C-alpha cells in the first residue's frame, strides 16, 4: 500500500511521541520518531525525505531563538506543525516565527483538522518537489537550447564566410568602368546577392537579387542564382549560347529554376548587360524595388521597368530595355532593405528622398554610401545589398 507521505515526529516525551506517531501512521503516513533532539542525522533541507515535521514547542532545554538560527542556516524546507500544552499568544507567535504552517493545543480534540493540516503540508512539499524538478528540466532544456543555438551560430558564421567568398572582387576596373558592391546582412546569412563578370571582350553582365525571407534557405537560393549565371557564362564560351547577354532570357531561366527548386522562395531581380564598345545598357526588371538609379550630368533618374518576381509565375516573360549611356555616369542598384533605413515614413516619400540623395551626392559610390549611412550600419533590419557601376569620361 502506497504511503501518503513521510512524517517526522519530534518530541522529548517518548510516550507522547509514540502516541502521535501511531495516530498519524493509522491515517496512512510513514512515521519516524525522534525523542533525542541532539540527533542530527535527519536533514530538513530541500532534498529531505520528509514531507512534514510534527514538533513539540516546549522541548526541554531548547532555546527557540538558537533553533530558529539553526533552521535558517540549514535552509529548512520541510513544513512543520507545532504542538503545545498551553494556548497563549506568546507560544503561537514563537511557532509562527519558527515558520510553522499550523499550531495545535493538547489535548487534541480536532483530529480531523490535524490530518487535513498534515495533508496540506504534504501537498505543499510535493508541489515544491515538482517545481524543483520542472526547474531542473527547464535548466537542462535551456542548456541544450544554448548549445544548439551556439552550433547554429557557428554554422551561420561558416555559411556567411562561404557566401562572402561567392561575391565578386570589388572593385572591378575595366578601362574607364569601375564596378563595386557592398552587402549588409540582417542575420549571418543574407538573402540579398549581387554578381558581375565579363563576357567575352566587350560585355559585362551583372545582377541584383533579393530573395524572400532571411537566413539559410534564402542564402541557398542565392547560391542557385550564382550557379545559374556561372553556367550560362560557361555556355557562352563553350557552346556559343548567348543567353547570358539577354537579361530577359536570364530572368526566364531564374524563374524556371526557382520554381523547380520548390522551396517556396521567390526573388526580385535586376539583370543588366553593359556593352563596353557601344557604351549601352540592356536590362530587365523582375518586381525589384527600388528601381535602378542612373546619375549623370543631366541629374538622377530611375530606370523604369516591371515584371513579376522570379519563382512565382510559371512561364513568365520579361521585357528588355536599352539605354544609351552618357560618357560619364554612375548606375546604382539597391535591394529593398535600403528603404528600411531611410528617414521618410511612406514608400513614395522614401523613393523621392532616395533620388534626392543621388542628386546631391553623385561624385562617387563611397560618398553615396556615407550619405545614406551604410558605413555606420552594423546590423540592418533587413538585408541590404548595393551595386555601383561608374564610368568617368
- The answer to the question of residue 142 being in a domain is no
User: Where does residue 90 rank: exposed (0-12), middle (13-18), buried (19+ CB within 10 A)?
Assistant: exposed
Order across the sheet with 102-105: list the strands: 30-34, 6-10, 52-56, 80-84, 102-105
237 lies in the same domain as 368? yes
Q: Report the CATH number at residue 58.
A: 3.40.50.2300
- The answer to the question of residue 19 being in a domain is yes
| Cβ-based neighbours of 218, under 8 Å, separated by 6 or more | 189, 190, 191, 211, 212, 265
How far lies 135's CA from each of 128, 152, 304, in Å? 10, 25, 60
348 lies in the same domain as 225? yes
200 lies in the same domain as 331? yes
- The answer to the question of residue 90 being in a domain is yes
d(CA 216, CA 155): 10
Residue 122 has, within 13 A of its CA and on its CB side, a CA count of 18
Residue 321: domain span: 167-391
108 lies in the same domain as 252? no
Following DSSP, what letter does each residue of 213-244 receive, concatenated? S-HHHHHHHHHHHHHHHHHHHHHHHHH--GGG
pLDDT at 207: 96
- The answer to the question of residue 325 being in a domain is yes
121 lies in the same domain as 258? no
| Cβ-based neighbours of 313, under 8 Å, separated by 6 or more | 255
Strand 384-391 versus strand 329-334 pairing type: antiparallel
Following DSSP, what letter does each residue of 288-334 receive, concatenated? -SSPPEEEETTEEEEPP---PPBTTSTT-----EEEEPPSSEEEEEE
- The answer to the question of residue 221 being in a domain is yes
131 lies in the same domain as 175? no
Contact 272, 282 (CB under 8 A): yes
pLDDT at 36: 83
108 lies in the same domain as 189? no
d(CA 305, CA 303): 7
185 lies in the same domain as 304? yes
117 lies in the same domain as 190? no
d(CA 204, CA 343): 34
What's the whole-model pTM score? 0.65
158 alpha carbon, distance to own chain's centre:
18
Of 95, 113, 135, the residue at which a domain comes to its end is 135
Closest-CA residue to 277 (of 220, 202, 374, 335): 202
- The answer to the question of residue 161 being in a domain is no
194 lies in the same domain as 302? yes
- For 89-136, what is each residue's pLDDT tens digit? 777 777 777 778 888 988 888 899 999 999 999 999 999 889 989 999
Number of domains making up the chain: 2
| Tens place of pLDDT per residue across the chain (393 aa) | 578 999 999 998 999 999 999 999 999 999 999 888 776 677 777 888 999 999 888 787 666 655 555 555 556 788 889 898 888 777 777 777 777 888 898 888 889 999 999 999 999 999 988 998 999 999 999 988 888 888 877 777 776 777 777 788 888 999 999 999 988 776 667 788 899 999 999 999 999 999 987 777 788 888 899 999 999 999 998 888 999 999 999 999 999 999 998 888 899 999 999 999 999 999 999 999 899 999 888 888 999 888 999 999 999 999 999 999 999 999 999 988 888 878 788 888 888 888 888 877 656 777 777 777 776 666 666 778 889 999 986
- For 189-200, what is each residue's pLDDT tens digit? 778 889 999 999
171 lies in the same domain as 308? yes
Contact 77, 132 (CB under 8 A): no
Contact 37, 12 (CB under 8 A): yes
Contact 81, 111 (CB under 8 A): no
Q: Give me the sign of the Cα torsion angle 52, 54, 60, 64.
A: positive
Of 135, 150, 185, the residue at which a domain comes to its end is 135
How far lies 90's CA from each of 68, 72, 96, 106, 114, in Å? 15, 21, 10, 16, 21
- The answer to the question of residue 158 being in a domain is no
- The answer to the question of residue 362 being in a domain is yes
Of 89, 115, 135, the residue at which a domain comes to its end is 135
Q: Report the CATH number at residue 311.
A: 3.60.40.10
pLDDT at 191: 80
195 lies in the same domain as 255? yes
pLDDT at 267: 93
pLDDT at 61: 67
Amino acid at each position: 500500500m502506497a504511503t501518503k507521505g513521510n512524517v517526522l515526529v519530534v518530541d522529548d516525551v517518548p510516550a507522547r511521541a509514540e502516541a502521535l506517531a501511531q495516530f498519524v501512521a493509522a491515517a496512512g503516513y510513514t512515521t519516524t520518531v525522534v525523542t533525542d533532539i541532539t540527533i542530527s542525522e535527519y536533514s530538513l533541507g530541500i532534498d529531505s525525505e520528509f514531507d512534514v515535521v510534527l514538533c513539540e514547542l516546549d522541548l526541554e532545554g531548547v532555546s527557540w531563538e538558537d533553533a530558529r538560527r539553526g533552521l535558517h542556516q540549514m535552509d529548512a524546507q520541510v513544513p512543520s506543525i507545532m504542538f503545545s500544552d498551553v494556548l497563549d499568544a506568546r507560544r503561537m507567535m514563537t511557532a509562527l516565527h519558527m515558520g510553522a504552517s499550523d499550531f495545535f493545543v493538547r489535548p487534541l480534540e480536532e483530529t480531523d483538522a490535524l490530518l487535513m493540516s498534515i495533508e496540506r503540508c504534504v501537498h505543499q512539499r510535493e508541489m515544491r518537489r515538482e517545481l524543483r524538478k520542472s526547474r531542473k528540466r527547464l535548466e537542462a532544456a535551456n542548456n541544450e537550447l544554448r548549445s544548439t543555438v551556439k552550433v547554429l551560430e557557428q554554422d551561420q558564421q561558416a555559411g556567411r564566410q562561404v557566401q562572402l567568398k561567392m561575391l565578386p572582387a570589388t572593385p572591378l576596373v575595366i578601362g574607364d568602368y569601375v564596378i563595386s558592391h557592398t552587402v549588409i546582412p540582417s542575420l549571418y546569412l543574407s538573402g540579398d546577392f549581387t554578381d558581375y563578370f565579363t563576357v567575352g571582350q566587350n560585355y559585362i553582365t551583372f545582377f541584383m537579387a533579393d530573395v524572400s525571407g532571411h537566413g539559410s534557405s534564402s542564402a541557398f537560393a542565392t547560391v542557385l542564382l550564382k550557379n545559374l549565371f556561372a553556367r550560362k557564362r560557361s555556355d557562352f564560351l563553350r557552346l556559343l549560347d548567348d543567353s547570358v547577354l539577354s537579361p530577359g532570357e536570364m530572368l526566364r531561366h531564374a524563374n524556371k529554376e526557382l520554381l523547380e527548386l520548390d522551396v517556396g522562395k521567390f526573388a526580385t531581380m535586376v539583370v543588366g548587360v553593359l556593352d563596353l564598345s557601344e557604351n549601352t545598357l540592356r536590362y530587365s526588371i523582375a518586381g525589384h524595388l527600388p528601381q535602378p538609379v542612373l546619375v549623370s550630368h543631366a541629374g538622377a533618374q530611375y530606370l523604369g521597368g516591371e515584371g513579376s518576381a522570379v519563382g512565382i509565375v510559371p512561364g513568365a516573360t520579361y521585357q528588355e530595355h536599352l539605354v544609351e549611356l552618357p560618357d560619364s555616369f554612375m548606375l546604382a542598384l539597391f535591394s529593398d532593405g535600403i528603404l528600411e533605413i531611410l528617414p521618410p515614413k511612406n514608400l513614395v516619400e522614401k523613393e523621392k528622398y532616395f533620388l534626392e540623395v543621388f542628386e546631391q551626392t553623385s561624385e562617387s559610390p563611397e560618398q553615396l554610401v556615407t550619405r545614406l549611412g551604410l558605413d555606420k550600419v552594423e546590423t540592418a533590419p533587413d538585408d541590404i545589398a548595393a551595386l555601383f557601376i561608374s564610368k568617368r569620361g
